[in-house]
Copies of this chain bind each other. A is one copy, B any other.
Amino acid sequence: MKKIITISREFGSGGRELGMKLAIELGIPCYDHQIIEMVAQNESISKDYVAKMSEKDLRSFYSAKVGRSFVMLNPDMNKSMKIALAEHKIIKELASQGDCIIVGRASDVVLRDENPFNIFVYADNETKIKRCRKFLQKNEKMTDKEILSMCKKIDKERKAYHEMYSSIDWGHPDSYNLCVNTSNKSIDDIALGLASYINVWYK
Contacts and interface: CB of A to CB of B under 8 A. Distances in A.
B189 A193 contact: no
A189 B200 contact: yes
Nearest to A203: B189
- Chain copies in the assembly? 2
Interface string A88-128: 00000000000000000000000000000000101010000
Contacts of A173: 120, 122, 171, 173, 179, 181
Nearest to A182: B177
Interface in A135-151: none
Contacts of A194: 197
Interface residues of A, number: 24
Contacts of A193: 196-201
Contacts of A197: 193-194, 196-197
Contacts of A120: 173
A180 interface: yes
A94 to B, nearest CB: 24
A40 to B, nearest CB: 34
A142 B121 CA distance: 38
Contacts of A53: none
A76 interface: no
A180 B181 contact: no
A185 interface: yes
A55 B5 CA distance: 37
Interface in A150-179: 171, 173-174, 176-179
Given A176-B181, A177-B185, A192-B200, 6 more contacts: A122-B173, A171-B173, A173-B181, A178-B181, A189-B203, A196-B199
| CB-CB nearest 9 A-B residue pairs | A196-B196, A193-B200, A179-B179, A193-B197, A197-B197, A192-B200, A173-B179, A177-B181, A193-B201
